[in-house]
Amino acid sequence: MLALAPLDEEFFGGTIHAVLGENGAGKSTLMNLLAGILPPDSGEILVRGTPCRLQSPRDALGQGIGMVHQHFMLVPAFSVRENLALAQTPDRRGGLDEAKLIQSAVDVAAELGWEVPLDARTEDQPVGVRQRIEILKVLASDPEIIILDEPTAVLAPDEVDDLFRVLRQLKARGKLVLLIAHKLSEIVAIADRVTVLRRGVHIATANMAETTAEEIATWMVGELPPQLAGKGGVGSGSVVLRASGLRARGDRGEESVRGVDLEISGGEIVGLGGVDGNGQVELAETLCRVRPLVAGQIESGGTVAYVPQDRQVDGLALGMSIEENFLIGGLSNRDLVRLGVVRPRSVKAWARRLVETFRIKIGRLQDPARSLSGGNQQKIVVSRALDQSPAVLVAVNPTRGLDFAATEFVHSRIVEAAERGCGVALFSTDLDELRQLSDRILFMSRGQLVEGESAQSLLGGPA
Amino acid sequence: MIESLISVLLFTTPLAIAAVGETVNQRAGQINIGLEGMMLVAAYVAAIVAIETGSPVLGIGAAIAAMIPLWLIQNFLTIQAGRDQVVVGTALNLCAIGLTSTLYQMRFGQSGQLLSVPQLPRWGGIDGMVLFGLLLVPVLGWWLFRSRWGLVLRAAGEYPDSVRSSGFSVARIRWEAAAVGAVMAALAGAHLSIGVGGTFVQEMTSGRGFVAVALVSFGRWRPAWVLAACLLVGGAEFLKFYYQVRQTALPYQLFLALPYLVALGVLVIVGKNSRAPAALAQPFRSNQ
């Protein structure tokens, strides 16, 4: 799949330039190209007017480009000192003169007013401190261009303020700060320029002074149709899922679901849209009882099936076989597991049937789930969820990263399930998908559900 | 008594050299289950070459040379092709047993005659390899913990992505670590036949390679502790024989268990902050 369509863009020193887009828009791909992590299939990169081939992170660093990764490149078991030294050691010859190697990083820390516990074990540090270490690693070599991949994703609000203070300082020194983000509200506070990508395509670039948050939101998720009421179907009438006054916390303990009331009837597809990070995943997990409730009630008229957002982390055990991954969803099926004992022959036959009816392309049932393409992995998750004829299906971005055929397939399965009387909560950041499938559409904004009429309601903020 | 202690040192040396070499390998994220097989091949090759040339030193050199094809095959499969390290290592062991036994029988028949191999010279009961083994520990300890090479190597065993983002090749580091392990396996195996035994018999390593792999984790991946663990095991063996010979009032099983009990106590107190390299036995694919 093409992750990033041909793109021309210019970045200037002394600016904070945000690259915005939903998940899978191609932001990280673009930054990985600039940081020497991915080689481009075509095109060239000019740094200060000179074309350069960036084959490795070290090449990029040589050109003055440093990247702060979203998944920290820190050795958990090392001391902070060792991690800083690892990033700075130019070669593998000679003794380990840590003090000398990390001197520049220590200087930068002092300049920024950061206290860094050099002798402490890295994994014992809170995530905010680990990010500081990661930033120090990059700043120690004094790069002209600093790329930060979703730096605010893991930070508490006051940590975000401190980070932004540092970024402004860097900007004042004439550096280019490139910021990847998908939370629009934070970007408005700091960026000078913004580039928006959607599904790998460059949508727009603008100076923040010359645009509005509403306009950027529209670029991110697409032109809002005048009518966003869904297809207006009503379902079978009987309510299969009733949630009232739901409150739940996010992974960092922040309030991410703040009072949600939701009713879904049998046969109804309810689309739940909104800009990422407004509590959608947390609400979905709460509905499936994967995430604990802080307050509120959920009643459901039968089993609730779940298609999680991240199939590789939450949906599948990649190292286990295809058959075993199917079985994860079939453990309550009496034909497959009786008295706690798995019946291998029935499981095999059942898995074969699913593979055939859902036309999943696999080698052998014993192959690891890792060996499948993204589309076929998702087919396993979807077919497994729908096989139990659930009363309710909760799906989060079920077609993310899938090609056209696989997307069509997943869509038709969801519609079929609804026709059989299943109530569907379809969380998606893709407006076309919502419009195509949903009987009615709601939006999530700052942890609450709103009727989706204006672009304003898409905006949301830090959940 | 002193004499016995010296012989403990001599008997423990092959185990210690192999285990300390394996420590370097595991620190880089690789577990060499094939250590047993490597030692066996080295023991055989060293014995044959020493017999043919009359020189134990040439025997040691030949044992090291014999590791090259094993090192290449094993690490091509694990590092380049990303195969399971335990499976590849086990295959290597089976091949090594088959190969050495076949070659031995082709050469000496089924008679089981006792070979007489030219031995390394000894001074007061110890030979050069014992001194080398004792010297190896501080040298490799320094290399692992006080050199740039060691820093990057340890990172490769903990979190290989960080190594790549710092501009080094994980594959290259792991090839190097495997080479250190293979050379140590060669020295250990060779010492077994031409240093300790003065002979070669089929499957003469008799599990020492496996014990060495186990002692690396017992010694919490630190060369000095690994050496201590080896001496404990060697000492336990010694005690067993010692008390079998002299009947005492105490059951000799107690003396057998004592070193392990002491080690367990030490581990509980000191070892809680050390654990296996996080990326141990995990293949690294750089294309992600």
Give pLDDT, residue B160. Answer: 94
Give pLDDT, residue A458. Answer: 54
According to DSSP H, which parts of A113-261 are helical? 127-139, 157-172, 184-190, 213-221
**A445-456 mean pLDDT:** 71
Whether the predicted pLDDT of B83 surpasses 80 = yes
Question: Which residues in chain A are closer than 8 Å to B162, comparing Cβ atoms?
Answer: 73-75, 83, 86
Whether the predicted pLDDT of A105 surpasses 80 = yes
Is the Cβ pair A86, B167 closer than 8 Å?
A: no
Task: Note the pLDDT tens digit of each residue in A82-102.
Answer: 999 999 888 898 888 889 999
Percent of chain B with pLDDT over 90: 59
**B143-154 mean pLDDT:** 96
Of B150, B158, B275, the CB nearest to A75: B158
Q: Which residues pair with A51 in a beta bridge?
A: A46
Whether the predicted pLDDT of B124 surpasses 80 = yes
- Distance, in Å, from the CA atom of A332 to the CA atom of A338, rounded to the nearest integer, reads 9
Of A76, A82, A85, the CB nearest to B278: A76
Give, as one character, the DSSP assignment of residue A318: T
- Closest by alpha carbon to B196, among B61, B85, B47, B89? B47
Q: How far is B162 from chain A (nearest CA, A)?
A: 5
Give pLDDT, residue B174. Answer: 97
User: Rounded mean pLDDT of chain A?
Assistant: 85
Encoding tokens for residue A251? 């992974």
Residue A294's CB is within 10 A of a number of other CB atoms, namely: 14
- pLDDT confidence of A221, banded at 50, 70, 90? confident
Whether the predicted pLDDT of A227 surpasses 50 = no
A332-339 long-range contacts (CB < 8 A, ≥24 apart) are A332/A303, A332/A388, A333/A388
- Distance, in Å, from the CA atom of B39 to the CA atom of B51, rounded to the nearest integer, reads 18
Whether the predicted pLDDT of A50 surpasses 60 = yes
Is the Cβ pair A58, B148 closer than 8 Å?
A: no
- pLDDT confidence of B172, banded at 50, 70, 90? very high
Task: Note the pLDDT tens digit of each residue in B211-230.
Answer: 999 899 888 899 999 999 89
Whether the predicted pLDDT of B67 surpasses 50 = yes
Give yes or no for B159 touching A (CB within 8 A): yes
- Distance, in Å, from the CA atom of B287 to the CA atom of A229, rounded to the nearest integer, reads 44
Least confident of A150-154, A192-196, B148-152, B272-276: B272-276
Residue B54's CB is within 10 A of a number of other CB atoms, namely: 10
Is the Cβ pair A92, B158 closer than 8 Å?
A: no
Least confident of A234-238, A369-373, A413-417: A234-238
Which residue is it, tokens 């060691």?
A: B150
pTM beyond cutoff 0.90: no
Q: How far is A369 from chain B (nearest CA, A)?
A: 17
Least confident of A327-341, B28-42, B146-160: A327-341
H/E stretch holding A18 reads: strand A16-20
Give pLDDT, residue B59. Answer: 95
Whether the predicted pLDDT of A339 surpasses 70 = yes
* Largest separation between any pair of C-alpha atoms in chain A: 75
- pLDDT confidence of A61, banded at 50, 70, 90? confident
Contact A82, A98 (CB under 8 A): yes
Query: Helix, strand or coil for residue A300?
Result: strand
Which residue is it, tokens 């709601």?
A: A442
Give yes or no for B276 touching A (CB within 8 A): no
Percent of chain B with pLDDT over 70: 93
Most confident of A118-132, A293-307, B12-26: B12-26
Contact A195, A19 (CB under 8 A): yes
| ipTM entry | 0.87
Q: Which residues pair with A392 in a beta bridge?
A: A304, A423
Query: Which is more confidently placed, A275 or A117?
Result: A117
Task: Note the pLDDT tens digit of each residue in A350-398.
Answer: 999 988 888 888 888 888 888 887 778 888 898 888 887 889 999 998 8
Q: Is the dihedral of CA B115, B120, B126, B131 positive or negative?
A: negative
Contact A178, A17 (CB under 8 A): yes
